[in-house]
């Protein structure tokens, strides 16, 4: 397994720890605290436009499978069938000017020796001393507030967006975090070509009160929440064509065909997470007649809940899934106890193929093409936020230091397969990795020191799809994304950085309603229970007041972001 895949595993693990908030980190933050002069609040439409960096795609490395245009300005992630054999340089000069900086990033893994040779090689290449201080990712959400309370943030820090509420990022911007607008807005970003290649949407959530503060990491031009997968090898052995599934009725009929409780095989795992793409309800809001309508009140949401309740009662869903045990979903899928599962886009990769093959030598994950509930209307796939993790510079840095750090960030954001990317992600050839036919293979030093992957939490290139040992997997995933692009759309408030006042936080989370929804799609409670919970949420739960706040304070003043 490559270091690149391990890096993605750490990021995926971070998202799993964060839970549902990671799906839409931009809307998870709550206001309050900080300087009385700073609201830490929402941007204006005009201000956001003036703060955004220009987009200039990079041509330094050519992908094997080009991007496909999707919703609006979105582009699917390019595909690489193998790692470039001769990495090219994308940064002409050493970026640093001899500065010394400290950086704190989260790490979901073993923290490397601070004096290792990889750090030394990086500092030499950067032309500056960047002292990396990775911190335990599992306690990161509590350790960072300790630093901000003491006003002792490092020079450079990663603040994952799903913890915006914990960090109170809006209040930190302009008080403890540096304004990057004078350096990156508009064509100014062209001084840093690799940063200019970041998707425009990825910069948006780094803007607070019309000023740019955050540098996006792990950004994607086409971030879909997830999809429905099936065991391609088993379908093929049974002569089942997944392309024949074009409606929810087809899906249910397939469930009957595949399920054999006596053989310990069920068709489905938990299907709720991505049911929206079949029934067409929105991520959070839709606009009807100029008015915001929350997903709870959309007819399509009720239809989806009804169908999932029916599915739960059908006998085609694995009992552990109905019991809410999602931690073992992959294990059930690998073992062939479940043949259809719902998972994020990141699940379809080389690490998954290796894990699946360890359980079953014939294992092959495949994905259903998007389809709608009725089989005739178009599927609807809303785009996730373009980035969920951002790094920030300390406001105490002088302009020359900020410019030096941005040059370093530009180096760290070098495109996949470039010479700079190879060093940042794999280390020094012959020391940390050896170059094989399918790309770099880590040595013991690489596993210990580089695999921790601290630098990419400061800046990265746009995401690519690459599985060097499984090129067909890359082809399949790129083909699916290209087809899905026709059905993708920007949801209301896409990539907008909205700070919800604390008085609406409980209604915004809607936890009581969400708990009832889970009971319904697990077949524990009838749909009428959801309708009862919805009535409570709308009234005493503050739901109607929340929707009205979004209407007047956000949409009427700022637009929808679409």
Distance CA 211, CA 84 (A): 37
* 557 is a domain residue: no
- Provide the phi-psi class of 375: left if phi over 0, else alpha when psi is between -120 and 50, else beta: left
Weakest mean pLDDT among 133-142, 343-352, 446-455, 458-467: 446-455
* 275 is a domain residue: yes
* Number of domains into which the chain is organized: 2
Q: What pLDDT sits at residue 452?
A: 73
* 330 is a domain residue: yes
Distance CA 212, CA 25 (A): 17
* 407 is a domain residue: yes
* 491 is a domain residue: no
What's CA 346's distance to the chain center, in Å? 9
pLDDT of 279 higher than 60: yes
Q: Which domain holds residue 116?
A: 3-222+386-478
Q: What is the pLDDT of residues 38-55, one digit of tens each?
A: 454 567 788 889 999 999
User: 18: domain CATH number?
Assistant: 3.40.190.10
Region 198-216: mean pLDDT is 93
Classify 20 as helix, strand or coil: helix
Q: What pLDDT sits at residue 543?
A: 97
Examine the domain organization and report whether 376 and 265 are in the same domain: yes
Examine the domain organization and report whether 350 and 419 are in the same domain: no
Examine the domain organization and report whether 50 and 125 are in the same domain: yes
Q: What is the pLDDT of residues 168-183, one digit of tens each?
A: 898 999 999 999 999 9
Examine the domain organization and report whether 533 and 458 are in the same domain: no
Phi, psi of 298 (to 5 degrees): -85, 130
Region 551-562: mean pLDDT is 85
Region 405-409: mean pLDDT is 98
* 408 is a domain residue: yes
Examine the domain organization and report whether 370 and 398 are in the same domain: no
Nearest to 418 by CA among 80, 126, 61, 94: 61
pLDDT of 17 higher than 90: no
Nearest to 380 by CA among 295, 267, 291, 495: 295
| Band of residue 499 on the pLDDT scale cut at 50, 70, 90 | confident
* 501 is a domain residue: no
Region 209-231: mean pLDDT is 93
Distance CA 427, CA 118 (A): 6
Examine the domain organization and report whether 142 and 41 are in the same domain: yes
Examine the domain organization and report whether 414 and 298 are in the same domain: no
Average pLDDT, the chain: 90
Classify 171 as helix, strand or coil: helix
Examine the domain organization and report whether 160 and 287 are in the same domain: no
Half-sphere exposure of 336 (CA within 13 A, CB side): 15
User: pLDDT > 70: what percent of the chain?
Assistant: 92
Weakest mean pLDDT among 64-73, 157-166, 385-394: 64-73
pLDDT of 433 higher than 60: yes
Contact 191, 91 (CB under 8 A): no
* 552 is a domain residue: no
Prediction pTM value: 0.90
Examine the domain organization and report whether 18 and 140 are in the same domain: yes
pLDDT of 379 higher than 80: yes
pLDDT of 390 higher than 50: yes
Examine the domain organization and report whether 339 and 300 are in the same domain: yes
Examine the domain organization and report whether 63 and 187 are in the same domain: yes
Examine the domain organization and report whether 190 and 45 are in the same domain: yes
């Amino acid at each position: 397994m490559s270091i690149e895949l391990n890096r993605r595993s750490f990021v995926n693990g971070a998202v799993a720890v964060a839970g549902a908030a990671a799906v839409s980190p931009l809307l998870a933050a709550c206001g309050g605290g900080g300087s009385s002069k700073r609201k830490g609040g929402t941007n204006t439409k005009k201000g956001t436009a003036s703060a955004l960096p220009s987009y200039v795609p990079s041509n330094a490395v050519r992908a094997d499978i080009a991007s496909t245009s999707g919703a609006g300005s979105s582009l699917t992630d390019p595909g690489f069938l193998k790692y470039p054999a001769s990495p090219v340089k994308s940064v002409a000069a050493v970026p640093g000017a001899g500065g010394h900086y400290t950086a704190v990033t989260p790490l979901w893994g073993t923290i490397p020796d601070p004096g290792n040779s990889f750090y030394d090689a990086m500092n030499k290449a950067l032309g500056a001393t960047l002292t990396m201080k990775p911190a335990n990712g599992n306690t990161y959400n509590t350790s960072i507030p300790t630093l901000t309370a003491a006003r002792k943030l490092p020079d450079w820090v990663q603040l994952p967006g799903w913890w915006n509420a914990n960090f109170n990022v809006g209040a930190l911007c302009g008080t403890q975090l540096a304004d990057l607008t004078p350096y990156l807005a508009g064509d100014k970003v062209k001084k840093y070509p690799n940063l200019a290649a970041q998707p425009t949407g990825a910069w948006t959530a780094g803007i607070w009160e019309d000023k740019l503060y955050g540098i996006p990491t792990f950004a994607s031009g086409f971030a879909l929440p997830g999809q429905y997968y099936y065991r391609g090898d088993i379908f093929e052995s049974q002569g089942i064509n997944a392309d024949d599934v074009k409606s929810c009725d087809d899906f249910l009929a397939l469930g009957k065909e595949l399920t054999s409780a006596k053989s310990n095989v069920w068709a489905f795992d938990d299907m709720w997470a991505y049911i929206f793409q079949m029934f067409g309800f929105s991520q959070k809001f839709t606009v009807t007649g100029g008015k915001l309508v929350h997903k709870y009140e959309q007819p399509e949401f009720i239809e989806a809940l009804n169908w999932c309740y029916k599915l739960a009662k059908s006998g085609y869903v694995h009992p552990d899934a109905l019991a809410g045990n999602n931690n073992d979903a992959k294990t059930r899928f690998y073992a062939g106890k479940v043949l259809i599962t719902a998972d994020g886009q990141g699940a379809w990769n080389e690490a998954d193929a290796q894990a699946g093959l360890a359980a079953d030598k014939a294992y092959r994950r495949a994905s259903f093409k998007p389809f709608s509930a009725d089989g005739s209307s178009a599927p609807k796939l809303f785009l996730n936020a373009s980035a969920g993790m951002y790094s920030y510079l300390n406001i105490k840095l002088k302009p020359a230091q900020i410019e030096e750090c941005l040059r370093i960030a530009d180096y760290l954001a070098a495109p996949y397969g470039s010479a700079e990317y190879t060093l940042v992600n794999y280390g020094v050839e012959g020391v940390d990795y050896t170059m094989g036919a399918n790309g770099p293979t880590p040595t013991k030093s690489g596993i210990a020191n580089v695999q921790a992957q601290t630098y990419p939490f400061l800046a990265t290139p746009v995401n690519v799809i690459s599985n060097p040992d499984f090129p067909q997997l890359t082809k399949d995933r790129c083909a699916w994304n290209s087809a899905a692009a026709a059905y993708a759309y920007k949801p209301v408030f896409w990539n907008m950085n909205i700070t919800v006042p604390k008085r609406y936080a409980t209604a915004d989370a809607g936890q009581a309603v969400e708990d009832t929804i889970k009971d319904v799609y697990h077949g524990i409670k009838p749909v009428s229970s959801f309708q009862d919970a919805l009535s409570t949420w709308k009234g005493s739960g503050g739901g109607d007041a929340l929707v009205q706040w979004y209407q007047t304070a956000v949409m009427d003043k700022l637009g929808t972001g679409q």
